[in-house]
Structure 1
């Protein structure tokens, strides 16, 4: 059960540090646990145990484990994943993988299948890869992405937009009866509603714009006069309170361009972590916003 497969279930991840340079080994282990926790919350398995920095009994002697994840599958079978987190300045060698293989075998029991995951920031030499491939270990490269990692990839989309905005102005109402003094002071157009016997209350702005605004695929709607008549008169309400009965309402309706603005989507600065399945080649990019993007190496 490769860990990178579980990451496909990941919908969000907590914001993490930008770089491993200032992290301690313990911090690196905690980030690993955090990612596993987010994966566990959204996977189809049921987590029974998820811990950082503990000691497990072994066949010959106990062993310190950086991160432990135990769960039951949908079919009810128990499974255990043990993580060893390395943060060295060199690539891990064959002896590193062999040593971890021994730990995994020591804490494994026949009734609970155990998968070993070796996590490192600097990669793995060929000998370590062969050991992992032969004995079913998962080896992951987990670190903050570099400029080389993202070279040649689309990282950011810049969108420039100039919105077209419907406008209703010069509002005039032909009143047949006042029901209150609500219209005696300043009135916000968007607070006005008229009562429709079939559809209930309708906003005056929506009523005046309906059928009058061009589709966005066409030119801007030129300003023109619009009148809506009511026979018999209908109730006009202001902020939900009856204000008057009206025979008609009219206004100048059209469209105008608003101020342009830019939207940026993505960006190198939004990437928090990169997790690479060293044997399979799949890469998961984790963002500060909690998203995950999977690609083939």
Structure 2
């Protein structure tokens, strides 16, 4: 279970954003707009899929207040992995679990500090930081609002960016009755207007390419965690005890979820063929 991650400064930024898995968009659409309306751009369709009608007025305003036509939009296409809904949701809502696993494996050094039930900060210990809030979360949709500050040797000044990440997910059973998770991400990034067109023209394309690469790798890693929980339950439990950067309650929930996966596998194996 070893994630492959890029090590450049831009890649670290992408990992930070993807940890929540991670810019803001404010195209004000008519109240009647839906993702199926003809004539809408891909960006507008993505905005129309954000469940504003189910959010509080405050949450809606916070997201829309950061929206502007210059926001960069990136769609990360649907990907399919074998994973249970319960485990997938735990890893999406509590990215400190993934980051702590990576740290133990020596794959990445990110610090996630949970400051509230739905808020946490992420740092790569090199001056790149993000404050992340889960604005809205259901089994099928998670909306994160991220405020980041990034710097690097190739940057003349720090880059500030606001990001909205919308994670869409669905769950089903395959023909072997194994749990399948399908997910996709809509990402909206709004860079500080003071960075300059030249810097933006270089940073943004590279950022988007590395983001897509890391999305694929993180997706694979989630599937690997499920596989370990399924086939090596004792090893999974030992790993969980080492996730000391995560709050005890979060570790306990992960332990409960992964134990249920293993027990379900045993029951299934005992059924007559």
- What is the TM-score of this pair, normalised by structure 1? 0.28
Greater Cα radius of gyration, structure 1 or 2: 1
Determine which structure has greater relative contact order: mean sequence separation of CA pairs < 8 Å that are 6+ residues apart, divided by chain length.
2
Per residue, is there more helix in 1 or in 2?
Answer: 2
